[in-house]
Amino acid sequence: MYFNIVDAGGRVFEGAEVETVNIQLDDGSQYVANVIQPENPFYIAIVLDASGSMTSANPAMRAAAIAAVDDAPELAQFAVLSFSERENINLIQGFSPDPEQTKVSIDSVRSIENGGTCLYDATMRALELVASQPQGRRAVILFTDGVDETARGEPCSVNTLENIIEVASNPGLQIPIYVVGMRGRGGTQINEGELRLIADSTGGLAAFGDSSQLNTMFDIMMTALNNQWLAQAEIYPPAGVRRAIITPVFESGVNAFATTIEFVVSRNFIPPLEIFFGSITYDETRDITSVEIIANGADRASQLRVEIIDTERNLTVSSFNVPGVPEKIEIPGDGLEPDGEYAVSITGLNDGGQPVSQPFVNAFVYRGLGEQPIQVNIIRVELSEDESMLEVTLATQGRDRISGLFVSIVDEQTNTAVGDPLQTSSAPTAVNVPLTNLQPGKEYRVEITPIDLTGQLITDAITQRQFVTSPPLLPTVILDGVNHTPGTTEVSIDLLITNPQLIGSMRVSGTSKQGGTRVFDPIIIDGAQSSINIPTDRMSKDQEYIITINILDDDGNPLAQPIIAEFLYSPPGKSIFERIGEFVASPIVLGVLVAIALFLVFWFYNQRKQKQAQPAEGNLNYIKFSKTQLAQLENNMGSGRRMINNPADSNKTRIEQRPPTGAPPMPQRNNPTVQRQPPAQLEILQANTQMPQRMVQITTPRFIIGREGRDLNFDNDPSVSRQHLEISFSSAHGAYQIKDLGSTFGTKVNGRPLMPDHPEILSSTQVITIELGKSAVVRFRVLHTQPGQDLSSNWEV
């Protein structure tokens, strides 16, 4: 396991002297790992932003990356990638141990005019490249000055933030991502919260600054890589995804903050054969010395090789094999001298007679009719799940001469007893010791002293075993972003928090970045709060500030590293609607508007009243004519026209137009044809699970394919997104269209990738094959109707 030691500010602690690492697996087993400086190859992928926004900073980026290569760890091999839009993610150089070649590759990177930033797709390409190298020291160094978007401001990558974190932190890969984020002029263009989350979630580091700080930021990354440690321990976990609590211990004896890791175990690892000796008794009638044994990993051996050794002469007196792993070894007295000092050596063998364990040796005295000395051996110690009890398994020799056991818990660091001792009334094979006042993540030992039949402690038979309590459960707090509250001058700090119930309080303070002047009095928040509003009345626009959040327990002691948030205070201006609202809120303006409204109501009412007073003939104009003028008008009118008297006024006359005889009727206005949705169906060609039916009719104008509650569900296929694909009918085009809804693993239409959120028209005359994710395949076709076929059940769009 490779790791770094960092200080409270997240900076790599150089020169740390780590002695050991305590490892506690989720099955309760504990191990101590040796710590060394690694000497194996280091595979590093450098990913450089070549988007259009990097044009002016490109030379500084290249110079800083080249300088970083000179500071790289020994045995480092570099790959170099550049990225802009999706089609411009380029592998410039595969992994090479030649630093000069790497520098030439870095120096060839040029920015692409108006190029976007497909940040997540480029990072995924680098992860795939690094994952193809041998497991061990591997890393990705990502440089960017922007967010994942095209030049038009749309999402650029097919992959997402969640995809990157899921792949990089996968227990089978575990590739740390080190992020160098360059802030643009006039404000932060990068999403520092997301980039820091990528680094924190994958075991990497993140550094942010402007173009003048590039060398410093790259130097931070190389310092981290140069100060990696390698912890090695032989452990025997069961198969599956395992979790372990890792606690580095410095040479001074101080423990670092513990952390939790995940790793994948492909099979069950069985611990090697271990043999512990119990009581030794002598059977006078048979002249047999019996040795009780307790074996761990007994299934690793099919037989035992037993040797009896004269320890004074260092001579093997006798030897024999025992089938299996019995609970007792019987040693004949032949050839043994009374009161002679001997040792029994037991080695596990496989079916072929080859050793599968080291020899396990225990001394004994062959006394003939005499007795063996009293001896208590601790076989194993196990903490209960809530760590309120310590279960100690024992093997005891001379049990019939022991009246009890005196059990105590001792602090290894201070060598003082902790809690009340326990005294048993016999010599049991297991003892449950109550634990009180133990500190988490600390070393203790259990000491057991037998008591003879007179009630005296047998101090020369004392036995002991060390154990370590679990490190304290700690909260995790990650900066998620700094946001300006719309329509106000307020700023909120957003946090991602795990185990919030452990947080007693949060202390928030703020200073200006230049000068360190306090901008508000410290804020004390009870408990955990994921969004914190920061007062800004003493902040100046377009100035940089630093917010520090200390995470404290109920007693005010630090629980985790402080959260540092740097941001540029640039509150948004008021929108046109907000300004209109303020204008209307004025009493004078409000009075004028009310007067205008009353005038309009009165005017419309008056107009309507006048309109209702007009004749029933409608909006016709009547003109008065003399009899002479009327006669002249009738002579001048063509056929088809006649004079009509106004029935309300005999002095008024109007002219009526009549169509000539035989004229065709006036043409009627045609309504546009409503496009009806023709029937269509999907045929399921391939799925990784049993589907309820093979043919599915499309009966709605918007048909969704995905998982859990969609129109068509591939529930057990993780490569199909929850909302993966939409098939809809467009009345404007009179055809079906298909759209990928931003799925994780994409969609193909007739073998061609479908761009997310860009609908495409589907042919109504062809059968179309659609691939969803990695395994689901369906076939689409329109069912053409015959003349006279009833389509009344179809939807109208």
Over residues 97-111, the pLDDT tens digits come to: 999 999 999 999 999
* Domain extents in the chain: 1-38+229-269, 39-227, 274-366, 375-468, 476-569, 680-782
If you average pLDDT over residues 381-405, what whole number do you get?
Answer: 86
The reported pLDDT for the residue numbered 405 is 95
Domain boundaries 1-38+229-269, corresponding CATH code = 2.60.40
Per the model's pLDDT, the better-predicted residue between 135 and 645 turns out to be 135
517, with CB counted inside 10 A (0-12, 13-18, 19+), is exposed
Over residues 412-455, the pLDDT tens digits come to: 989 999 989 999 988 888 899 998 888 888 899 999 999 999 99
Over residues 675-689, the pLDDT tens digits come to: 678 889 999 988 887
Cross-strand pairs, 690: none
Phi/psi of residue 224, each to 5°?
Answer: -65, -45
* Reported confidence tier of residue 664, pLDDT bands at 50, 70, 90: very low
Per the model's pLDDT, the better-predicted residue between 777 and 689 turns out to be 777
If you average pLDDT over residues 295-319, what whole number do you get?
Answer: 89
130 and 202 Cβ atoms separated by less than 8 Å: no
Half-sphere exposure of 714 (CA within 13 A, CB side): 27
**Span between the terminal Cα atoms of the chain, in Å:** 61
Contact partners, residue 626, CB within 8 Å, separation at least 6? none
The reported pLDDT for the residue numbered 643 is 54
142 pLDDT more than 90: yes
The reported pLDDT for the residue numbered 624 is 52
Q: Is 451 left (phi over 0), alpha (psi -120 to 50) or beta?
A: beta
737, with CB counted inside 10 A (0-12, 13-18, 19+), is middle
Over residues 499-534, the pLDDT tens digits come to: 888 899 999 999 998 888 999 999 999 999 989 998
44 and 141 Cβ atoms separated by less than 8 Å: yes
At residue 337, the 3 state secondary structure works out as coil
Report whether CATH 3.40.640.10 matches the domain 274-366.
no
Phi/psi of residue 450, each to 5°?
Answer: -70, 155
The reported pLDDT for the residue numbered 88 is 87
53 pLDDT more than 80: yes
Per the model's pLDDT, the better-predicted residue between 257 and 213 turns out to be 213
Domain boundaries 476-569, corresponding CATH code = 2.60.40.10
Tokens found for residue 682: 């999907």
- Distance in angstroms (rounded) separating the CA atoms of residues 278 and 295: 11
Is 375-468 the same fold as 39-227? no
Read out DSSP for 482-541? EEEPTTSS-EEEEEEEESGGG--EEEEEEEETTT--EEEEEEEEES--SEEEE--TT--T
Phi/psi of residue 435, each to 5°?
Answer: -115, 130
Per the model's pLDDT, the better-predicted residue between 198 and 184 turns out to be 198
* Reported confidence tier of residue 796, pLDDT bands at 50, 70, 90: very low
Element of type H or E holding 95: strand 90-96
656 pLDDT more than 60: no
The reported pLDDT for the residue numbered 475 is 83
245 pLDDT more than 60: yes
Q: Which amino acid is at 515?
A: G
The reported pLDDT for the residue numbered 666 is 45
Domain boundaries 375-468, corresponding CATH code = 2.60.40.10
Contact partners, residue 650, CB within 8 Å, separation at least 6? none
Element of type H or E holding 416: strand 416-423
Cross-strand pairs, 409: 418, 446
The reported pLDDT for the residue numbered 592 is 77
Q: What is the DSSP letter of 86?
A: G
- Distance in angstroms (rounded) separating the CA atoms of residues 60 and 761: 46
- Distance in angstroms (rounded) separating the CA atoms of residues 76 and 138: 10
The reported pLDDT for the residue numbered 610 is 67
Phi/psi of residue 56, each to 5°?
Answer: -75, -30
The C-alpha angle 601, 603, 608, rounded to 5 degrees, equals 95
- Distance in angstroms (rounded) separating the CA atoms of residues 740 and 760: 10
CA nearest neighbour of 493 among 523, 467, 537:
523
- Distance in angstroms (rounded) separating the CA atoms of residues 684 and 687: 7
Over residues 258-272, the pLDDT tens digits come to: 777 777 787 888 778
Domain boundaries 680-782, corresponding CATH code = 2.60.200.20
206 pLDDT more than 80: yes
Per the model's pLDDT, the better-predicted residue between 583 and 652 turns out to be 583
Least confident of 358-362, 575-579, 617-621: 617-621
The reported pLDDT for the residue numbered 280 is 87
Least confident of 161-175, 537-551, 608-622, 709-723: 608-622
Phi/psi of residue 402, each to 5°?
Answer: -115, 130
The reported pLDDT for the residue numbered 668 is 43
If you average pLDDT over residues 10-17, what whole number do you get?
Answer: 70
Mean pLDDT score across all residues of the chain: 81
Q: Is 764 left (phi over 0), alpha (psi -120 to 50) or beta?
A: alpha
- Distance in angstroms (rounded) separating the CA atoms of residues 374 and 345: 20
The reported pLDDT for the residue numbered 439 is 85
The reported pLDDT for the residue numbered 754 is 87
At residue 352, the 3 state secondary structure works out as coil
561 pLDDT more than 90: no
If you average pLDDT over residues 655-659, what whole number do you get?
Answer: 47
Read off the pTM.
0.42
If you average pLDDT over residues 123-131, what whole number do you get?
Answer: 93
Contact partners, residue 75, CB within 8 Å, separation at least 6? 39, 40, 41, 42, 97
- The topology (CATH level 3) of 39-227 is Rossmann fold (3.40.50)
* Reported confidence tier of residue 652, pLDDT bands at 50, 70, 90: very low
654 pLDDT more than 70: no
Percent pLDDT > 90 in the chain is 27
If you average pLDDT over residues 355-369, what whole number do you get?
Answer: 85
The reported pLDDT for the residue numbered 10 is 63
* Reported confidence tier of residue 650, pLDDT bands at 50, 70, 90: very low
Over residues 55-91, the pLDDT tens digits come to: 888 888 899 899 889 888 888 899 999 999 888 899 9
- Distance in angstroms (rounded) separating the CA atoms of residues 396 and 401: 11
Tokens found for residue 395: 């093997």
Q: Diameter of the chain by CA atoms?
A: 167
> Tokens 């173009």 label which residue?
211
Q: Give the highest mean pLDDT range of 143-147, 201-205, 443-447.
A: 443-447
Q: Which amino acid is at 514?
A: Q
Q: Give the highest mean pLDDT range of 187-191, 336-340, 556-560, 711-715.
A: 711-715
* Reported confidence tier of residue 791, pLDDT bands at 50, 70, 90: very low
764 pLDDT more than 90: no
